[in-house]
Amino acid sequence: MSVFNDYANYYNLLYKDKDYVKEVDYVEKLIRSYKGDAKTILNMGCGTGKHDKILNTYGYDITGIDLSEQMISIAKSSNLPGVTFEVADACAFRSEKKYDVVLSLFHVVNYQCTNESLINFFRTAHVHLNQGGIFMFDAWHGPAVLLDQPYAKEKEIEDERLLIHRSTQPEMDYIHNIAHIHFNIEITNKENNKKTLLAEKHSMRYLFYPEVELMASLTGFQVVKFVKWMEEVEPTENSWYVLYALKKI
């Protein structure tokens, strides 16, 4: 069962400040630079489909997959032509369709905590790409995670109906390059003052360039771009988020 199932309905509120339009504009420009004739996209780990809905305005035919039934249910509610959503495990998903681009955004790759799942994740992308297609994903950058480690923090956000308080407590596994992020979430319904408590653990494997390069070579890819997320500069030890673009060879 997906770790996101319990609070899928609150996900969009939790991340309402995330600039999806700016992120899609950034990614779309990169798509055009590497695959100017791209028309089809597979999005692995699409969540509630916000990236897909914006990409659709650029004219792409998009398939979004996610483990969470609740996330996919929310995504499907948009009912956009040219956009389909399906509940599926990105490490095991197989279809007859081929795509020009495979995307995986908002650190979905970091949830692949074992070598086996990471390789299978890459293989799914490779199997579904046309020859010369591009696999693009953002990730937690290992050197930055170790230099500026996750820390305990609080977040509170609300709309006219809900008040959400989330506390975050990290737990580091340095042997396996995994940060276990423990979330405790309190959701208050303002209309009746009813409170819902949720507890989640998100295990995130931070990645280093050499291991991504190795995984790419093992699964039929070549790394063609490695930059700081949302920029066009080489990552440094302070770049927590990075973007990889891999070409199917």
pLDDT, tens only, 164-184? 999 999 999 999 999 999 999
Q: Calculate the average pLDDT of the chain.
A: 95
Does residue 113 carry a pLDDT above 50? Answer: yes
Does residue 116 carry a pLDDT above 50? Answer: yes
Average pLDDT of the segment spanning 140-155: 97
Structure-block tokens of residue 70? 């609740």
The pLDDT score that the predictor gives to residue 14 is 86
Does residue 1 carry a pLDDT above 60? Answer: no
Does residue 35 carry a pLDDT above 90? Answer: yes
Provide the percentage of residues in the chain whose pLDDT is more than 70: 96
Q: Which residues contact 187 (CB under 8 A, 6 or more apart)?
A: 7, 10, 162, 163, 164, 195, 196, 197, 198
Contact 123, 217 (CB under 8 A): no
The pLDDT score that the predictor gives to residue 9 is 67
The pLDDT score that the predictor gives to residue 12 is 83
Instruction: Give the residue among 234, 232, 208, 233 at the shortest CA–CA distance from 27.
Output: 232
Q: What is the pLDDT of residues 68-88, one digit of tens each?
A: 999 999 999 989 999 999 999
Q: What does R_g of the chain's alpha carbons equal in angstroms?
A: 18
The pLDDT score that the predictor gives to residue 2 is 52
**Which of 9-23, 47-61, 123-137 has the weakest average pLDDT?**
9-23
Provide the percentage of residues in the chain whose pLDDT is more than 90: 90
CB atoms within 10 A of CB 184: 14
Per DSSP, the three-state class of 139 is: strand
Does residue 126 carry a pLDDT above 60? Answer: yes
Quote the CA–CA distance of 227 and 209 in Å, as a whole number: 11
**Domains along the chain with CATH numbers:** 8-141+207-248 (3.40.50.150), 144-205 (2.20.130.10)
Average pLDDT of the segment spanning 19-41: 97
Q: What is the pLDDT of residues 180-235, one digit of tens each?
A: 999 999 999 999 999 999 999 999 999 999 999 999 999 999 999 999 999 999 99
pTM confidence score: 0.94
